[in-house]
Amino acid sequence: MLVLVAPGQGAQTPGFLTPWLDLPGVSGRLAEWSAAIDLDLVHYGTNADADEIRDTSVAQPLLVASALISAGQLFPTQDDFARLVGAAAGHSVGELAAAALTGVLSERAAMELVRRRGLAMAEAAAVTETGMAALLGGEPEIVLPHLEKLGLTPANVNGSGQIVAAGTAGQLAALEADKPEGTRRVVALKVAGAFHTHHMAPAVSVLQAAVGEVEVGDPRTRYVSNKDGQVVTGGREVVQRLVGQVANPVRWDLCMETFKELGVTALIEVAPGGTLVGLAKRALPGVRTLALKSPDDLEAARELIAEHAADAAGPAE
C-alpha cells in the first residue's frame, strides 16, 4: 500500500524549482498560479536567495506549488491518484497540497488559500520575535515537561526522537542554554515564526473567513490529518481542520502510526522531499521510501508505484 506525503515549511532551498521547469506544462501552470495569487513562483523558486524564500508568505505557496507539480508528474489525473495511492498526508502547510491531491480542494483553491495562509501567518509572526527549533533525541516524557517549564510549545511532535519547540526568541535561547536531558542537539529551523502555537491565533480567523466560499469535495483517497493522525472522510471537516491546524500542534507521529495501521509498504515524499522520508525510515522500518527531490527521481518513483500501488484502496474509507 502506497502512501504519498508532502513536506512542510523549512524544506525549501534556493533554486529547488529550477529542474522542474524543463518538464512540459510546468512553466504554464506556475505562471497561471502566480497570476492568481500575485506572487512570482518561478522567480522565487529559481533565482531568490535563502532569506527571500524563508519569508512565510513566499515559502508556503512555493512548497504547495512544488508538491502539486511533482505529484502531477506521477499521477496525471485525480483518477490516477485515487486508484494508485492508498493514503495521503502533508506536514503542516503540506496538508493543503494533500487536500488538493485527494480531491478536497481544486489546485487553484489550494494555491489561493495557501497564499492567504502565508500572508496571515507572516503578519502574526511579525508581532513578536518568535521561531522554532528541533530537538534531536530525548524521550517525550522528559522533553515535554522541560518545554513547558520554559514556556515553549511542542509545535511538531514528529516521532523518531524529534520534537519541534516553538516560542519567543528569548525562550528558544533559554532552551539552547538548558537542553532537556538526553537531547543531543537543538537546531534552529528556517522559519519566521512560532507556527502551530497561540502566537498564530490571529491567522486562524483570517483563514476561517477565506474558506467560507471555497468549493469543497470529500476526499477520494484516505486523508490523514495532522491534528490527531485520523483518517478524515468529510471534505468540510478536512477544511476546518486546516484552519485550526495553523495554531495547533502537528502530530506527525500519529500520522505515521496510522500509516502503519493501514498497512503501508511504500512511502513517497513529493518535492522538495527528504525530511519526511528521514522520519519514516526511523519510525516505519521495512517500508520502502523515496524522496522526490528532482525530476531525476521520477523513474525510480514510477517503479516504486508499480510495485506497491496494486493494493491501493481507491476511494477513502
Average pLDDT, the chain: 94
- Taking CA atoms, 296 is separated from 39, 188, 232, in Å, by 27, 30, 33
| Per-residue pLDDT tens digits for 95-113 | 999 999 999 999 999 999 9
Higher-pLDDT residue of 262, 192: 262
Mean pLDDT, range 41-54, rounded to an integer: 95
pTM over 0.85: yes
Mean pLDDT, range 191-207, rounded to an integer: 92
* Catalytic pick among 57, 66, 92, 225: 92
- Taking CA atoms, 115 is separated from 65, 189, 205, 271, in Å, by 11, 21, 15, 18
Mean pLDDT, range 195-223, rounded to an integer: 94
Cell numbers 526568541 label which residue?
169
For residue 280, pLDDT over 60 is answered with yes
Mean pLDDT, range 215-224, rounded to an integer: 97
For residue 316, pLDDT over 90 is answered with no
Distance from chain centroid for Cα 254:
15
CA distance 157 to 144: 10
pLDDT value of residue 314: 42
| Per-residue pLDDT tens digits for 24-34 | 999 999 999 99
Q: pLDDT > 70: what percent of the chain?
A: 97
Identify the sign of the CA torsion 117, 133, 46, 64: negative
pLDDT band (50, 70, 90) for residue 310: low
Provide DSSP, 179-235. Answer: PPTTEEEEEE-S-SS-TTSGGGHHHHHHHHHHHTT------SSEEE-TTTS-EE--H
Asked which of 76-90, 184-198, 265-279 is least confident by mean pLDDT, the reply is: 184-198
Give the number of other CB atoms < 10 A from CB of residue 209.
12
pLDDT value of residue 161: 80
Exposure of 224 in the CB half-sphere (CA atoms within 13 A): 26
Torsion angle, alpha carbons of 4, 201, 238, 272, to 10: -20
pLDDT value of residue 191: 80
Cβ 242 vs Cβ 203: under 8 Å: no
Mean pLDDT, range 224-245, rounded to an integer: 97
83: three-class secondary structure by DSSP: helix
For residue 315, pLDDT over 80 is answered with no
For residue 252, pLDDT over 70 is answered with yes
Known active-site residue 92: yes
Cβ 290 vs Cβ 268: under 8 Å: yes
Q: Which three cell numbers stand for residue 186?
A: 537543538
Known active-site residue 196: yes
How long a stretch of residues is the chain? 317
| Per-residue pLDDT tens digits for 173-194 | 999 999 999 999 999 987 878 9
pLDDT band (50, 70, 90) for residue 94: very high
* Catalytic pick among 34, 57, 70, 196: 196
